[in-house]
Amino acid sequence: MHSESTSERIPGRAWTVRILGHSDRTVSVTCSTDRCRMPPRSKDLTTQRTFAARHAAAHAKAATVRPNAWCHCGSQRCGTHPDAKAHCAGAVVLILRHDPTLGRVWSVEEVCETCAPLIPHATVLARAARPARTGARPAAQATQVPSPSRPGIAGGFSAAPAAGDAPPVPSARRTPRNPRRRRPRQGR
């Protein structure tokens, strides 16, 4: 039996949803998760594109960002941002990557805070919760993507976020510290 420790690093997850064109002028939607059910081929590209976008959003909504995950981008040798070299570091975030000019691939990935801004067409959807500190007041909770609460569509995911389903924005305010004046050191 395997128990997952919060300090043990685990591979970052990624889900990829694609629209594929076929020679008979139909399109189909595929998902990197085998258990997801996809609609049949169709000549209606708009409907398939809408389904693909909603399906990627549903994966993002169902996922909880794991604070002990490795950067998925880093595990791929940072191939999504080859022109900007960086070392993976920082907390784990969940991103949605979609190039609107191509419009055929959506990727939801767990990556580090360093890689996230370097990845073209990426939007940060959620941040991992920071572990609670012992002996100190609890850290502010980061935004988590809630699990779906509405009935599902084909593939087991909710169709689309409702107008009021935007993730909560953290309202943690930091009060500025009063700077302490340091006394100049006197020579010995």
**DSSP state string for 10-74:** BPPPEEEEEEEE-TTS-EEEEESSTT---PPPBS-HHHHHHHHHHHHHHHHHH----TTBPPHHH
pLDDT in tens, 92-138: 999 999 998 888 999 999 999 999 999 999 999 999 876 665 554 44
Contacts of 31 (CB under 8 A, 6+ apart): 15, 16, 17, 18, 38, 55, 59, 155
The residue whose two tokens read 């055929």 is 104
Q: Which of 11-25, 68-82, 112-126 has the lowest mean pLDDT?
A: 68-82
pTM over 0.85: no
pLDDT tens digits along 129-180: 766 655 544 444 434 433 333 334 334 443 343 444 444 444 444 444 444 4
